[in-house]
Amino acid sequence: MSRRRRILAATTALLAAIPVAVVAMSANAAIPPPAAGWNLVWGDDFNGAANTLPSSSNWIVDLGHAYPGGPGNWGTGEIQNYTNSTNNIKLDGSGNLRITALRDGAGNWTSSRIETQRSNFKPAPGGKLAIEGRIQMPNVTGQAALGYWPAFWALGSPYRGNYWNWPSIGEFDIMENVNGINSVWGVLHCGVNPGGPCNETTGIASNRACPGTSCQGGFHTYRFEWDDGAKQFRWYVDGQLFHTVNQGQVGAGTWDQMTNHAGYFVLLNLAIGGAFPNALAGQTPTAATVPGHSLVVDYVAVYQSGTGTTPPTSTTTTTTTPGNPGGGGSAYSELQAESAQERSGGTVGTATDTGGGQAVGEIGNGGYLKFSGVNFGSSTARQFYARVASGAAGGVSGLVEVRLDSRTAAPAGTFAVGNTGGWQSWKTVPANISGITGTHDVYVTFTSGQPAPYVSVNWVKFGT
């Protein structure tokens, strides 16, 4: 995807893999408890019924050959069509996710790609974040593997909904592999393309063979750590450090571009063909490539070390709006932004929208709306809707987040928004949320890695 057409220079010494005794490890371990000093932030152990899709509360399934409006072939030249068919992606009933690349009789490849609903994974100020997965690469090597390109990676949240701001928003390739080679690549993408501080489109990369069993022959644990205190990124396989990038290598400005936004979302995919496998093997896939092999994922977990209590920064003042001071509205009715019990950021003005009325215009990073005592009744809300408009400049975007009972609680749901066609071009944007019942203070918070206002809000509401 935005994993560019990368032409890897460091390809030597990879092809002479030494066969090692294969030790099959159990494939259904739960998410391991965090190491001392770490806390589990989020995870999915992919337990669930066989032949079902992974949790839609956790994951978005990407479809086709591009994001809507994004670069073709996911920006990498990969050729497969991504589907949500359980032929391509499913839980195996034994605690694993399996993404399988298939080729039909006409030679067309299908596979799958998923990304986390959450897009705000980042360390607390001065703390550390780890993104970890236990994964077996597709168990295929040699000519039969040409074109296989599995990846476990993360993209900066401003990419979602924009798709043209890569690589400034940052990309961490926690595990990449091509052509069945016994090696894991760890890569940082940043700055500008081409060239720049991350030497795009290659990125700042390192690679090594998997310890013990080959990467294809067994499960290995791939871990990326973002150390905000040390201003360092670190890549590990089975606990062995194999790549580091320090802030000084890319410069403070580039570092800030990829770390000062709302955070990252995590992706898993199995591509076929594209620039990376082609760079090492010529045009892939070939007639010798064998379909039907799977990327197998036991779990994905995000851990944090060091707790932050710093709320989002805001340069605006809080306004208590008169009228409906007690709140108490129904979650399933339109909660008018201009009538929020508290507001920070934006200005109240006229909405040229269906139904007219007022809206809160041009909200930026750090703003929020508080709706007190919102009643979810006896139903479980699983959808959030916001009526939004944006005249933000190209490349400017941010997140709209729903939080319960605290402005700093983990978001129950999030979506990204950029230009909708103008500050009075209104559209209703849905987001999946974790199930909500009961009565809560609802905070709608606004987070962006850049300072310009990026969204106006007419109303929000919930659905089941």
* Stretch in the footprint of Ca ion (CB under 5 A) among 40-48, 141-149, 219-227, 318-326: 40-48
Based on the shown chain and the rule CB under 5 A, indicate whether residue 44 belongs to the binding site for Ca ion: no
Cα–Cα distances (Å) from 445 to 18, 175, 215, 368, 427, in that order, read: 53, 32, 42, 4, 18
Which residue's beta carbon is nearest to the bound Ca ion?
95
Contact criterion met (CB below 8 Å) for 218 and 136: yes
**In the complex, least distance from residue 50 CB atom to Ca ion, rounded to whole angstroms:** 13
* Strand duo 381-390 + 455-463: pairing: antiparallel
Give me Rg for the CA atoms of the chain: 23
Give me the 108-127 binding string for Ca ion, x by CB under 5 A, dash otherwise: --------------------
Q: Determine if 200 is a binding residue for Ca ion (CB under 5 A).
A: no
Interface stretch with Ca ion, choices 17-25, 87-95, 241-249, 278-286 (CB under 5 A):
87-95
Nearer to Ca ion, 46 or 454 (CB): 46
The answer to the question of residue 285 lying near Ca ion (CB under 5 A) is no
Q: Is the dihedral of CA 124, 125, 128, 130 positive or negative?
A: positive
Copy the structure tokens of residue 363.
């909200």
Interface with Ca ion in residues 288-327 (CB under 5 A): 298-299
Q: Does 54 engage in binding with Ca ion (CB under 5 A)?
A: no
Residue among 221, 216, 272, 214 nearest 88 (CA): 272
Please name every residue paired with 194 in a beta bridge, in sequence order, or none if there are none: none
User: DSSP strand E in 101-177: where?
Assistant: 102-103, 109-111, 113-116, 128-136, 148-156, 171-176
Q: DSSP for 100-112? A: E-EE-TTS-EEE-
Query: What is the CB neighbour count within 10 angstroms for residue 337?
Result: 28
- Residue 48 interacts with Ca ion (CB under 5 A): yes or no: no
- H helix runs in 175-246, sequence order: none
Q: Which of the stretches 17-25, 89-97, 321-329, 413-421 binds Ca ion when contact is defined by CB under 5 A?
A: 89-97
> With binding defined as CB under 5 A, does residue 167 bind Ca ion?
no
Task: Judge whether 393 and 431 are in contact, CB under 8 Å.
Answer: no
* Cα–Cα separations (whole angstroms), residue 295 to 202, 216, 398: 23, 9, 32
Distance CA 268, CA 262 (A): 20
- Structure tokens belonging to residue 149: 């390109």
Q: Which stretch binds Ca ion (CB under 5 A): 42-50, 190-198, 378-386, 452-460?
A: 42-50
Q: How far is the CB of 223 from Ca ion (least distance, A)?
A: 16
Should residue 46 be labelled a site residue for Ca ion when binding is judged by CB under 5 A? yes
Q: Which of 70, 77, 95, 274 binds Ca ion (CB under 5 A)?
A: 95
First to last CA, the chain: 33
Q: Which is nearer to Ca ion, 10 or 24 (CB)?
A: 24
Q: Which one of 95-103, 115-123, 282-290, 345-353 is the stretch in contact with Ca ion (CB under 5 A)? A: 95-103
Which range touches Ca ion (CB under 5 A), out of 45-53, 146-154, 181-189, 201-209?
45-53
The answer to the question of residue 132 lying near Ca ion (CB under 5 A) is: no
Number of residues that bind Ca ion (CB under 5 A): 5
Q: Is 150 in the site for Ca ion (CB under 5 A)?
A: no
In whole angstroms, how close is the CB of 97 to Ca ion at the nearest point? 8
In DSSP notation, 14-71 reads: -S-PPP----PPPS-PPPPPPPTTEEEEEEE---S-TT-PPPTTTEEEE-BTS-TTS-
Stretch that binds Ca ion, among 92-100, 163-171, 332-340, 446-454 (CB under 5 A): 92-100
Nearest approach, Cβ of residue 270 and Ca ion (Å): 18
Q: Which stretch binds Ca ion (CB under 5 A): 65-73, 88-96, 237-245, 411-419?
A: 88-96
Provide the minimum distance between the beta carbon of 427 and Ca ion in the complex, in angstroms, as a whole number: 38
Q: In sequence order, what are the residues at sequence separation of 6 or more whose Cβ sits closer than 8 angstroms to the Cβ of residue 199?
A: none
Residue 133 CB, nearest approach to Ca ion (Å) = 10
Q: Report the residue number, 298 or 362, with the smaller CB distance to Ca ion.
A: 298
Which one-letter DSSP state was computed for residue 339? G
List, in sequence order, every residue forming a beta bridge with 244; answer none if it has no partner. 234
Q: Does 45 bind Ca ion (CB under 5 A)?
A: yes
Residue ranges in contact with Ca ion by CB under 5 A: 45-46, 95, 298-299
